[in-house]
Structure 1
């Protein structure tokens, strides 16, 4: 990896089962084109929050030497990954699809499909992202304020949904091959939430979106 972060979380895929039988063939993902998702954050606020989306195809392309010899990021990372950065977002992964829900900065809900068949199957929805993207990452340990510039170029198809969240509204998200599940916190009808941390005075609502 290009940086050593003190806080790393691996988000596993929720599976490849489609609820709609008509979509099963179209959405079944190739094991070589599934995704590994790593999220990192630093001890201090200005380091932000990075989401690394890595295609598992890289693990099928490695030879026997990879087991004993580390391979530098520059040799495999840029063409097999995408890095997204924001101070606050929720992430879920299913097969070759990623769901990002931003709750700070510019709120929004983004669905990205990294499958090679995504362009064919998108049916005119969303847009294809082929151009490389570059971000500046500050040392997450806080030992240095010199930013590291990283460019990645794994292609994907993106759909942005007209859905916004406040910083304390979203409890959890999930995505499978044809649905998005949003668990949001709403004010209890019998009481008003005066403080964003007052969970006892709120209730949860599950919303399902077909995609």
Structure 2
């Protein structure tokens, strides 16, 4: 083989290697570019996710603050209503007591106007006025479940207060002889025990 042929072959081999290297470089640079783009997109995606999560966190915090504020307002309103309910719990009962007071005042006014009546007539009118007043009181009591403590029969320390013991032919020992002061119940609760005397 001649020297010229050998040189030509060497040149062709070198040329092929250079072309191959160039192609490899092109491939590597495209690979490098793709990697860089991929990393960049990953960074962008991570930043977007962080921003999205921060926005969601802020929104959740705002919702929590709004709900908490609403809860506090409701709590304050309920407390205010509770204290008002306690303060004005007896409002209905107080209104129902106005009628007996009106009756008493009318009885007094009638007594002043009826100065020309005889004492017997005046006494009868006053008695009528008092009876009407008591009736009004009991009407108000009925509306509010206030009842008179029963005093017929045996003495019961849960409902009666014995202030004296007396001899009695009609009653057996421990039975109520006389009621000195009526007792009252509010539903199932004792307001005041009845003051009684009991037989020896």
State the TM-score, normalized to the length of structure 1: 0.24
* Greater RCO structure (CA 8 Å; 6+ sep): 1
Bigger share in helix: 2
Q: Which TM-score applies when normalising by structure 2?
A: 0.25
Rg larger in 1 or in 2? 2
